Amino acid sequence: MKIKYSMAEIRGSHKIGRNWVHTFLLKPTVMGTTWLVANFTNISPNTISAISGLFYIVCGYFFLTANLPWHLFWGAVFFYLGILLDAVDGKIARLKNKSSKFGAWFDSYIDVWGQSIAAITLGYGYFLYTGNHVWLLLGGVMLFIKFHHNLESNVALQLMGEKNYERRISKDNLGQTGLIGKIKGWLLKKGLRDPVSGSDIKVLFFVIGPMFLILDYILMIIIPIFLIKAVIWFFYYKKELMLLDK
């Protein structure tokens, strides 16, 4: 079978500036999976998004029954598969010129609700696993972090408009917005969009923690990181965005 898309073209569909998780953990498998799907299947981006949603549901089942042997491990595996396909669908859409408003909405819908299922079920399942009622609350906390992550992106888009929002993450402009902008500009040159992103927190909580049974320790890392991010976002984010809007 003739190869339609080279690995160079696959890399060309990659967005500039991602998070630590995508750059160092997801990128190798995302590129390989995208190459296979693009060249050897006719699966549409929306179908890939739907399969990603099914993986989140399976993940939710394993998290919900976390008191059974190996269920936390398999829940983490299926969550990873979900975020893997969540990254692949957009690349296939850009590569095959099949991007659409419905596709963007559907991808976002699957992402939000699929990962919300994971947050709720992991909180309850880990309560069953440990007997600690605090985890019932922490499932809700992770749900809040997920929606905060989406809110942050949407607020940025609304404040700046689509054109300036895209310019916001370009190499030429990030270094012109004060100390935070310079730090992010340096990170972007390394292929990273933020010092710590919502996606990094998600993978720590939903993949690394359950897979290695270290959720309690992961929590000690996540809470300070999220609080620091929230403070920075509240005091600096709007000012930083409006500087670029001038």
Write the CATH number for 39.
1.20.120.1760
Domain contains 48? yes
pTM for this entry: 0.78
Domain contains 140? yes
Domain contains 202? yes
Domain contains 2? no
Domain contains 108? yes
Quick one: residue 132, left, alpha or beta (phi over 0 = left, psi -120 to 50 = alpha)?
A: beta
How many folded domains does the chain comprise?
A: 1
Domain contains 136? yes
Domain contains 1? no
Domain span at residue 45 reads 7-245
- pLDDT one digit per residue (tens) for the chain, 246 residues: 567 877 777 776 665 555 666 667 777 788 889 999 998 899 999 999 999 999 999 999 999 999 999 999 999 999 999 999 998 998 899 888 888 889 888 988 898 888 889 988 999 999 988 888 888 887 777 666 666 555 555 555 544 454 554 555 554 444 445 665 666 666 666 555 566 666 777 888 899 999 998 988 887 887 787 777 667 666 655 555 554 444
Nearest to 174 by CA among 87, 238, 243, 105: 243
Q: Where are the alpha helices (DSSP H) in the chain?
A: 7-12, 20-21, 27-40, 45-64, 71-95, 101-130, 134-168, 171-174, 178-189, 198-203, 209-212, 215-232, 238-245
Task: Yes or no: say if 75 and 129 are a contact pair by the CB < 8 Å rule.
Answer: no
Domain contains 234? yes
